[in-house]
Amino acid sequence: MSELLKNQFKKIIEITDDEYDYILSHFITKKFKKHQFLVQEDQVVVYDYFVLSGCIKSYYTDENDKMHILLFGTQDWWISDYEAYYFKKKARVNIDCLEETEVLCLSLENREKLCKEFHRIEHFFRKKTNRRNVALQNRILTLLSSSAKERYEKFIQDYPSLVQKLPKHILASYLGVTRETLSRLYSTK
């Protein structure tokens, strides 16, 4: 499974097998059960997670106990509460598993160590951060400027494998609609 990470590195930078083995030695492999938390609100965040298998959701719960899903993490994705991870603040979001999940965990200390030792690794993480920033900007713009139907159609287009995998109330929360609205969108397809 760690070949996934190796392939992701190789899409952006050149690394030898020996370098990759050294880089991988800075990660910890963890397995989580369905509904188990990787990150909980108001807790310290130690790791950035690279998803080997499974599906994860990152969400915020407002003062009315309403869940707002920020994003999903599936195989070959990175996920964390980045404000808490980088700035040693307490988490503002929860991240839990929608199914059994296996991840590679990278502490900030090990990330910084690798970036100092390999300029290419710093380049890799900068490129990944740039892509994440663009994806989050697009997510915000979609929420602000698209109809429920347009958001649903974009989700189907961008993440076809997730549509059948996600419980309807989770997908509705991600799209910013009620379950009833989502049911209507399903019936028009």
Higher pLDDT, 178 or 59: 59
Give yes or no for residue 40 having a pLDDT over 70: yes
Domain count of the chain? 1
Average pLDDT across the chain, whole number: 94
CB 42 within 8 A of CB 152: no
Q: What tens digit of pLDDT does each residue of 78-102 get? A: 999 999 999 999 999 999 999 999 9
| Nearby residues of 111 by Cβ (< 8 Å), 6 or more positions away | 26, 48, 125
pLDDT of residue 189: 59
Strands 78-79 and 47-53 turn out to be antiparallel
Give the range of the structural domain holding residue 90, as residue numbers without chain letter.
Answer: 3-115
> Concatenated DSSP letters for 136-156?
HHHHHHHHHHS-HHHHHHHHH
52 falls within a domain:
yes
What are the CB-based long-range contacts (under 8 Å, 24+) for 160-169?
161/74, 162/55, 162/72, 162/74, 165/55, 165/98, 165/99, 166/55, 166/72, 166/98, 167/98
Q: What tens digit of pLDDT does each residue of 155-171 get? A: 999 889 898 889 999 99
Cα(120)–Cα(126) distance, rounded to whole angstroms?
Answer: 10
145 falls within a domain:
no
92 falls within a domain:
yes
CATH number at residue 69: 2.60.120.10
109 falls within a domain:
yes
pTM of the shown model: 0.93
